[in-house]
């Protein structure tokens, strides 16, 4: 098993060690192997995929479809027809809301989500509920971010048509009991949509084991370029859905009045596809598999433990979510007494430390925990213990800088 430090050399941006990058939940860094794979695609196979009958176009198509197979295998999908490339998790979730939700949710039905959802898994469902006269029901977590069985069994009912839930919260870092919720939701006849933006980079995902009907992920949070994401959908559901966007090679036959659509998955991929970044996503998946989820999880737990132990020694810091570092998926959200999170992030930036501050695209959760905004440090496997120590040292000086004395 390789040590996490063996991989750091592959990340050019981290090489100088000048910056401490603790905003991995927003986007990860990309290793040389991913960037080279993208460059190689454009240098050797650049043509419009899925269209041309000449070598380069066919090579581009092969590269694109190979990336689809890599995604299918990575998340345990039965077939490549169940994998649709999108720009990101947000687009994947909107696709489900527009193409499945608007057609299948009716007046008086209910959609169940959690108050912890990222806006990307909230606003599309608000839209469906408003347009179709359905009710949006919110599951609420306890202090540690846990959705209890009682909570979901009391709110998911025969009226529920869709349960949309984040696999891992981007604020608490807690992993939701998706498998149990999916089982219960299915017993009530609901379809289960999982936002996997924060889980796919950090843990082995098997969509069949999870029992979900849809699963969305973003490449840029898992070492791939920005602008490529994926949606898994069960074949029988995708088959019966209308396209989300129209035009390009997603057709079978077009007349002046009408059109029939291509087979899965191309029915959902309108316009010129992002083959270059799909190739980058395949390289990212290979890279993650080479590092191994065991190594990734072990390093995240080690760093999160060090981080939370250090924060616990600062009485003016409040950490949100579980007290157990193993339940944070590398994400630690906190506030500092008397210092606005934006000021905190700016002071740390002066020391070349990158963290996130704000509402984390989860404003209803901020309202629920009674914080207008929070600070969030999030680590990945290429971060080091030394970086955590430096971060804690710099953090301990922030209040001084803000005029609170030593
Ligand atoms: N869902 C969760 C839980 C996230 O953390 C994010 C991004 O931070 C998203 C969805 C949206 O991802 P993207 O901006 O890649 O669409």
Q: The domain that contains 303 carries what CATH number?
A: 3.90.1150.10
Residues 44 and 159 occupy one common structural domain: yes
Cα angle at 214 between 333 and 177, to 5 degrees? 45
Res 244: pLDDT = 97
Cα–ligand 1 centroid distance for 368 (angstroms): 20
Q: Which among 212, 329, 354, 361 is annotated as catalytic?
A: 361
Residue with CA closest to ligand 1 atom 5? 170
Residue 205 placed within a domain: yes
Tally of domains within the chain = 2
120 Cβ below 6 A of ligand 1: yes
Q: Are residues 281 and 299 in the same domain?
A: no
Provide the CATH number for the domain around residue 175: 3.40.640.10
Instruction: Using the 3D structure, point to which of 288, 308, 341 is the last residue of a domain.
Output: 288
Angle subtended at Cα 24 by Cα 93 and Cα 230, rounded to the nearest 5 degrees: 30
Q: Is residue 162 part of a domain?
A: yes
- To test the ligand 1 pocket, which listed residue (27, 169, 198) has its Cβ within 8 A of the most ligand atoms? 198
Q: Which domain holds residue 148?
A: 34-288
Residues 298 and 213 in one domain: no
- Indicate the pLDDT class of residue 46, thresholds 50, 70 and 90: very high
C-alpha 177/C-alpha 171 separation (Å) is: 16
Question: Looking at the domain assignment, is residue 360 inside a domain?
Answer: yes
Q: Is 361 marked active-site? A: yes
Q: What average pLDDT does the segment 100-108 reach?
A: 98
Considering 288, 322, 354, which residue would you say is the last residue of a domain? 288
Q: CB of 170 closer than 6 A to ligand 1? A: yes
Same domain, 281 and 341: no
Q: Give the nearest ligand 1 atom to 90 CA.
A: 16
pLDDT of 406 over the 70 cut: no
Other Cβ atoms within 10 Å of 257 Cβ, number: 5
- 255 CA distance to ligand 1 middle (Å): 38
Do 80 and 68 touch, CB atoms closer than 8 A? yes
Residues 397, 328 share a domain: yes
Measured between alpha carbons, how far is 224 from 203 in angstroms, rounded to an integer?
Answer: 16
Question: Span 102-119, mean pLDDT?
Answer: 98
Q: Whose CA is nearest to atom 7 of ligand 1?
A: 26
Q: Compute the average pLDDT of residues 355-384.
A: 95
Question: Which residue's CA lies nearest to atom 4 of ligand 1?
Answer: 197
Whether the CB of 118 sits within 6 Å of ligand 1? yes
To test ligand 1's pocket by mutation, which of 89, 95, 195, 226 has the most ligand atoms within 8 angstroms of CB? 89
| 333 Cβ closer than 6 Å to some ligand 1 atom | no
Question: 233: CA distance to ligand 1 center in Å?
Answer: 18
pLDDT on residue 1: 67
- Determine how many CB atoms are found less than 10 A away from the CB of residue 227: 17
**Residues 101, 113 within the same domain:** yes
Taking residues 324-346, what's their average pLDDT? 97
Q: In this model, does residue 4 exceed pLDDT 90?
A: no
Query: Which pLDDT score is estimated for 52?
Result: 84
Q: Kindly tell me if the per-residue pLDDT of 103 is higher than 90.
A: yes
What is the Å distance from ligand 1's center to 313 Cα?
31
Give the closest residue (by CA) to ligand 1 atom 6.
197
Ligand 1 within 6 A of CB of 166: yes
Query: How far is Cα 342 from Cα 311, in angstroms, rounded to an integer?
Result: 18
In eight-state DSSP terms, residue 262 is P
In this structure, the dihedral spanned by the alpha carbons of residues 114, 99, 282 and 117, taken in order and rounded to 10 degrees, is: -10
In terms of domains, do 365 and 377 share one? yes
Strand partners, 208: none
- 29 within a domain of the structure (yes/no): no
Count CB neighbours of 385 within 10 A.
Answer: 14
Pocket residue to mutate for ligand 1, from 197, 364, 380, most atoms within 8 A of Cβ: 197
Ligand 1: atom nearest CA of 195 is 1
Ligand 1 atom showing the smallest separation from residue 120 Cα: 10
Pick the last residue of a domain from 256, 288, 320.
288
> b/e for 358-369, b at 16 or more Cβ within 10 A?
bbbbbeebbeeb
- 342 and 193 fall within a common domain: no
User: Which of 361, 376, 380 should be mutated for ligand 1, with most atoms under 8 A from CB?
Assistant: 361
- Clarify whether residues 277 and 341 are in a common domain: no
The arithmetic mean of pLDDT across residues 155-169, rounded, is 98
| Predicted model pTM | 0.98
Residue 133 C-alpha to ligand 1 middle, in angstroms?
A: 27
Task: Please compute the mean of the pLDDT values over residues 116-121 and round it to a whole number.
Answer: 98
The pLDDT assigned to 319 comes to 97
Q: Is residue 89 within 6 Å of ligand 1 at its C-beta? A: yes
**% of the chain exceeding 90 in pLDDT:** 95
Is residue 368 domain-shared with residue 345, that is, in the same domain?
yes
């Amino acid at each position: 098993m390789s040590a996490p430090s063996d991989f750091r050399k592959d990340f050019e941006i981290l090489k100088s060690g000048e910056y401490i990058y603790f905003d991995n939940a927003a986007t990860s860094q990309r290793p040389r192997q991913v960037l080279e794979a993208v460059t190689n695609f454009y240098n050797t196979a650049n043509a419009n995929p899925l269209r041309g009958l000449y070598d380069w176009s066919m090579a581009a198509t092969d590269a694109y479809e190979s990336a689809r197979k890599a995604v299918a295998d990575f998340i345990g999908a039965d077939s490549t027809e169940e994998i649709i490339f999108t720009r990101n998790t947000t687009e994947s979730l909107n696709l489900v809301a527009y193409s499945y939700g608007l057609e299948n949710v009716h007046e008086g039905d209910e959609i169940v989500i959690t108050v912890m959802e990222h806006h990307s898994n909230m606003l599309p469902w608000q839209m469906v509920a408003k347009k179709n006269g359905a009710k949006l029901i919110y599951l609420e977590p306890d202090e540690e971010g846990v959705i209890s069985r009682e909570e979901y069994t009391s709110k998911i009912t025969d009226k529920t048509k869709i349960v949309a839930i984040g696999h891992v919260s981007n604020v608490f870092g807690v992993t939701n009991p998706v498998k149990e919720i999916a089982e219960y939701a299915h017993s009530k006849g609901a379809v289960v949509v999982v936002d996997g933006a924060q889980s796919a980079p950090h843990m082995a995902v098997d969509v069949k084991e999870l029992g979900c009907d849809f699963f969305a992920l973003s490449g840029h949070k898992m070492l791939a370029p920005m602008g490529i994401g994926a949606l898994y959908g069960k074949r029988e559901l995708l088959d019966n859905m209308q396209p989300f966007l129209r035009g390009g090679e997603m057709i079978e036959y077009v007349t002046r009045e009408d059109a029939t659509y291509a087979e899965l998955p191309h029915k959902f991929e309108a316009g010129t596809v992002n083959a270059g970044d799909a190739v980058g996503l395949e390289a990212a998946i290979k890279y993650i598999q080479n590092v191994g989820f065991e190594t990734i999880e072990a390093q995240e737990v080690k760093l999160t433990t060090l981080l939370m132990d250090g924060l616990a020694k600062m009485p003016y810091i409040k950490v949100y979510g579980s007290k157990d570092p193993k339940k944070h998926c590398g994400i630690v959200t906190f506030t500092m007494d008397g210092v606005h999170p934006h000021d905190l992030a700016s002071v740390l930036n002066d020391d070349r430390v990158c963290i996130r501050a704000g509402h984390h695209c989860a404003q209803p959760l901020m309202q629920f925990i009674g914080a207008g905004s929070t600070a969030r440090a999030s680590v990945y496997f290429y971060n080091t213990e030394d970086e955590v120590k430096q971060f804690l040292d710099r953090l301990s000086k922030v209040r001084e800088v803000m005029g609170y004395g030593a």
